[in-house]
Amino acid sequence: MNGRQYGASIRLEVADNCPKRVANFLLNQHSLNRSQHLFQVQGPVNLHRLGTWVNLLNAPELKYQPYTPGVPDKLGPKEDLLDVVRNEDILLHHPFRSFNPVVDMLWQVSEDPQILAVKMTLYRVGKKSPITDALMAAAQANKDVTVVVELRARFDEAANINVAQQLTAAGAKIVYGIVNYKCHAKLMMIIRKEGDVLKRYCHIGTGNYHINNAKLYTDYSLLTSDPIIGEDVHRIFQQLTGLSEELKLEKILHAPFTLRRQIVEMIEQEAERARSGEEAWIIAKMNSLTEASVIKALYRASQSGVKIQLIVRGICSLRPGIEGLSENIEVRSILGRFLEHHRCYIFHNAGAPKYFIASADWMDRNLHRRVEVCCPIEDPVLKSRLQYEMELYLNKTKKTWMMKPDGTYQKLPNKGIEAQEKLMRELKRKIR
């Protein structure tokens, strides 16, 4: 049952051998109806609790081998991370690459007298987080610390309130974003005085600033000092902390204002090129796909001859492979050791592909009711990395399920190593 103090109970799960009198008692206590709200489960009722038993079990042959993420030498804890990011963009793929450099960069804020301010969004951060500790240390070191805390992060409301109180006590400024819009963007901006100029260093991620999630979820982190991206991030923080209207951004795509429209426009551009006989394709990876106008645009693009390959882990309202509608669309779901969480979009763009990482799925809530960011990846080396890694997900068929036209899934035959295993082997090695 729902363990919160507020909110209506909507579902009662019990084991299939639960005595009827016990089930009826629980239904009555929570004003639920047997026919609509009772679910009898054949097996463990609470898989989350079952996970605690797995951790206690001493059976290494039944568990994954321990894995330690790789860290490039140039991003070690003793390095000046801002100096590295000043000279090149860094793209980390978690959990194959450690999240520690992001944390270390934030810790350096309190230690560097030239750093004036840090701004950050927190959607999920967890309890006793080094992220929170680093922000508190920065505030106590008289840095200007501004944190946008999302109080409506499902299941983390109490934890986020506690974080906001701790940060306020340390001297940080806490704001709660735009009314009626969840702040789901993952942004950090560090402002440093270098000579006579102010330099912005940014982190843009596809996942939360949650240390444990960074060990279990696949996500991208972009570390950049690109001045245009820095200006875009600055304007987003101005909007989140003030009353500014819709922003005009140069590089970043921004929900709920421009992201949906620009995604549809890029899909339609591919369709137009396909109708002209040119090569046209789209590769996109996300957690869920439900937004109607995006799905309709993908159908039109398929009908025009655009090859579309989608990796959608969860809910997908689009149906692939339907003659005359979506025969040029593939949808696959990949399940592995780590939860596939990162969002990545690639558009062929007449032979000059556009690459994006994003906090947003192509869902109604992400594109219409949340503050989200979608950031271009422009460094040629990083673009090659993204292309290579997306092709791994498309070509390695182990632990892959393909959606059929009727919406059901069929597991593909296991062939060789899976994408996650290959990335673990490749990215664990240090880059020298």
The answer to whether the CB of 420 falls within 8 A of the CB of 63 is: no
CA 34-35-40 angle, to 5 degrees, is: 70
Residue the block writes with tokens 């959990």: 95
Q: Which residue has the tokens 């190593």?
A: 417
Asked whether the CA dihedral 344, 371, 262, 297 is positive or negative, the reply is: positive
Measure the CA angle with vertex 17, ends 11 and 18; round to 5°: 50
Q: Is 78 left (phi over 0), alpha (psi -120 to 50) or beta?
A: alpha
ω before 256 within 30° of 0 (cis)? yes
CB 312 within 8 A of CB 282: no
E strand residue ranges, 22-138 = 38-41, 90-94, 115-122
Which residue out of 48, 93, 94, 184 is catalytically annotated?
184
User: What does the block give as tokens for 225?
Assistant: 């000092």
Reduced to 3 states (helix: H, G, I; strand: E, B; else coil), residue 91 is strand
Question: Does the annotation count 184 as an active-site position?
Answer: yes
Angle at 74 between CA 68 and CA 79, to 5 degrees: 100
Q: Which residues 6+ apart lie within 8 Å of 277 measured at CB?
A: none
Residue 390, both tokens = 């997306």
- Which residues are tagged catalytic? 184
